[in-house]
Chain A
């Protein structure tokens, strides 16, 4: 999809040059091109990359960060940022494991969803109604949630019994391709988020609140409510990510996913969503998530040291933001 600033339909009879310019301005083009280039390059460099088993592996490895990155995208589209999302998801895994052990998996899922939505509500209320900067609010919630998780877990790891708590790890085979239900869940969440953001009034409002808050206020959009709902949705998505995490590793570890916040921001930024709000898309974020996973996997296949992989990811993030700045300037002139 495209953001509000790019939705002008191509004029009938526009020259091909303008069409190309329109295309180049579409924030989805960069990330998709990068993804294609990476896939082609690794297919040529290594003999193992293009195997169906390996490709499905990349999808499986993207599930948890990919789902969390949807939450991060909607928050960033409102010109906010969620530094708590990873820690909140980890709290979700511990709730699922502990409550699941004592009260059964159904109760655990309800408990995790309710708790994480409440945390989202707290984030949203502080940002929208107390007018605190999202950076500060979510940083504080991150610190508090990390500690609360450690306390609740007693600094222990909880293995999870199989069943619906690990259901999102169920493997589905079709031909040579093996994917998990978690992969399908991730794709479904992207689809829903794309639909809501681009095809509904609520989605348009969210873009407006992030991109042009004053105009949004003047046109009667209730910004506060939009913001609260956004953070609330982020909490809900984090609960799904927590569930998916247990599908991937049937073990709730309070020390896990410490870098999840940064990894989601990386995926969002590489996916072409502007950190200044109002511009970008979840489909870009999906591409961003996959680019990072493809890089990790492909560079490993090519025998490149871990630390060089981190350098590559870092360079990519800076390049993506630079690209955003350049195209933003072009839009303004």
Chain B
């Protein structure tokens, strides 16, 4: 990839073919003429530039998102420029990335915002410059600060986890430990609230024995679970914000010899997480589809470049319950299906 300058020619060719095909298909519409009279980047026949800005480079979720965006961009004859913040919370890095992308003439920017409010000004400036901005995975606050949001309905994902845990407990009275993410995080709050909703509980229910913040980190989750277990050895259900937290919880439960009789639920759908479901370490997980978010995003930008059509609103990219212990009334797929469709 160090030689990206070797590829534009073939991309340009593909882009030309793609736009010709699009024009042929849309012959009756004004799309082609508006394309021709569009800005000079299109007139010169260079590929549509799509920017992708993830929270970080390293998280497998974002790696999968970037790969899917690149594949879709290649298929569509567009050029993908992938940037990222340096760490969770790197607003400055994401703002600079937005500015640099606008400066080089991208048609659209797909972004997983680190902060749902910190980058609103940069997004507004980009939209003023005629670039469409689509939030992936994490919504902005307010949500209409971007043209559209393609993301998991995290409340719904939490509800699925909670409903499965409740059903898996059967007649047993729940005694719940909650391994949360980061306090104040929007996704974290949605999942937490969704789980309680699925369990039929509220934040002050006595059935919640303990709650700890883990930042979604396996090591911190293990420590938190160890501490919870030493105070409440009778825990029988565990909520986890994500799969690394679930694996941390499993490690603590297994060290304490309490694996049997404790139901662990999770969310994410990474291959490691689904493998943990297959191995029986985690009872169920809820799969997200980062590749779907990226593919839809790239297509929306290409569409916008072709005919000026802007996407709008919230698009739910779906959440699928994965478990080898299906319960009645809840649609689920087994871990074999999960391993075929997982990310990371």
Chain A residues with a Cβ under 8 A of chain B: 45-46, 48, 51, 53-54, 57, 60-61, 64, 155-157, 159, 245, 248-251, 253-259, 296-297, 300-308
Select A258's contact among B5, B83, B89, B95, beta carbons within 8 Å: B89
Distance from A93 Cβ to chain B, minimum over Cβ atoms (Å): 11
Chain B residues positioned under 8 Å from A308 (CB to CB) = 1-2
Chain A residues positioned under 8 Å from B81 (CB to CB) = 300, 303
Say yes or no for B326: interface residue by CB 8 A criterion.
Answer: no
Stretch at the interface among B114-122, B195-203, B289-297, B329-337: B114-122
Say yes or no for B86: interface residue by CB 8 A criterion.
Answer: yes
Chain B residues positioned under 8 Å from A258 (CB to CB) = 86-87, 89-90
Select B92's contact among A53, A248, A254, A306, beta carbons within 8 Å: A248
- Using CB atoms, name the residue of chain B closest to A150: B183
In this complex, the member of A45, A259, A308 whose beta carbon has the largest number of chain B beta carbons within 10 angstroms is: A259
- Whether B100 pairs with A249 at a CB distance below 8 angstroms is no
- Whether B89 pairs with A304 at a CB distance below 8 angstroms is no
Chain B residues positioned under 8 Å from A53 (CB to CB) = 103
- Using CB atoms, name the residue of chain A closest to B97: A300
10 intermolecular pairs with C-beta atoms under 8 Å apart: A157-B115, A157-B118, A251-B115, A251-B117, A253-B118, A297-B96, A300-B97, A302-B4, A303-B4, A307-B57
Q: Mark B107-134, 1 if CB is under 8 A from A, else 0.
A: 0000000110111011000000000000
Chain A residues positioned under 8 Å from B96 (CB to CB) = 61, 296-297
Tally chain B residues at the interface, Cβ within 8 Å: 36
Select B90's contact among A60, A64, A159, A256, beta carbons within 8 Å: A256
* A304 to B103 Cα, complex, angstroms: 15
- Whether A250 pairs with B105 at a CB distance below 8 angstroms is no
In this complex, the member of B4, B83, B96, B184 whose beta carbon has the largest number of chain A beta carbons within 10 angstroms is: B96
- Whether A306 pairs with B182 at a CB distance below 8 angstroms is no
Say yes or no for B76: interface residue by CB 8 A criterion.
Answer: no
Given A156-B184, A159-B117, A302-B4, also A255-B88 (CB < 8 A):
yes
Chain B contacts with A in 45-88, Cβ cutoff 8 A: 57, 79, 81-84, 86-88
Given A301-B100, A303-B79, also A251-B57 (CB < 8 A):
no
Given A156-B184, A159-B117, A308-B2, also A301-B103 (CB < 8 A):
yes
* A306 to B100 Cα, complex, angstroms: 12
Chain B residues positioned under 8 Å from A254 (CB to CB) = 89
Distance from B141 Cβ to chain A, minimum over Cβ atoms (Å): 10
